[in-house]
Structure 1
Amino acid sequence: MIIKHCPKEFTVRERSIVCHKKDDCIVATIEKVDWDTTLLVKEMAKALAISQKSVGYAGLKDKTSASVQKFSFYGVPEEKVLSLNIPGVEVKDVERGDRINIGDLEGNEFDIVVRKIKRPKPELGKDIQKGLDRFSEWHGFINYFGYQRFGLQRPVTAEVGKLIVKKDYEGAALTYIGKPYPLDPMSEVRREFLDDMDFKKAYEAFPQGLRYERAMLFSLAHEGKDFKDCFKALPERLLKLFVHAYQSKLFNEIVKRRIEDVPPNVAEIGDHIIMDRYERKATTMVNRSNIERVSRMIEGEISVSAPLIGSRTILPNSTIGSIAKEIMEREELDFKDFENHTFRPFDSSGTQREILARYSDLRYEVLDDEIYGSTRCDLGFFLKKGQYATEYLAQLLGEEALPERIDDT
Structure 2
Amino acid sequence: MMNCLIPFQVLNPAIINQEHTSSKFIEQVKRSHPDNYFKIMANKNSFRDIKIQERQHIQWFIASERLEITVQVKFTPDDSHGKMEVLSLANKVSVERHTIEGEFETLSSGILTIEVNNEKRLADRVVWFRVKQASLSKSHLFEGIFNMIYSSACGGNDRIATERDLATVLERAFHFIDSLLNGRMKLKDMVDLKAIFCNKNINVRDEVKKLFSYRLIANANNQQEPANNIEATEQEIKQVCEWLQIYQYYSYINIIVTCVQRFNIISNENADETISSIIQISDENCSLREITERYRNLKQRFRKLTNQHLQLIKTASECSNVIQMMEKAELYTTHGRRRFQELRDNLTTQFQLQERNNMILNSWIIIYGLCEPFTMKARTLEDFVDSVAKLPYFEDTPVTHMQSK
What TM-score comes out, normalization by structure 1 length? 0.29
What TM-score comes out, normalization by structure 2 length? 0.29
Larger proportion of helix:
2
Larger proportion of strand:
1
- Between the two structures, name the one with larger relative contact order (CA 8 Å, sep ≥ 6): 1
Structure of greater Rg: 2
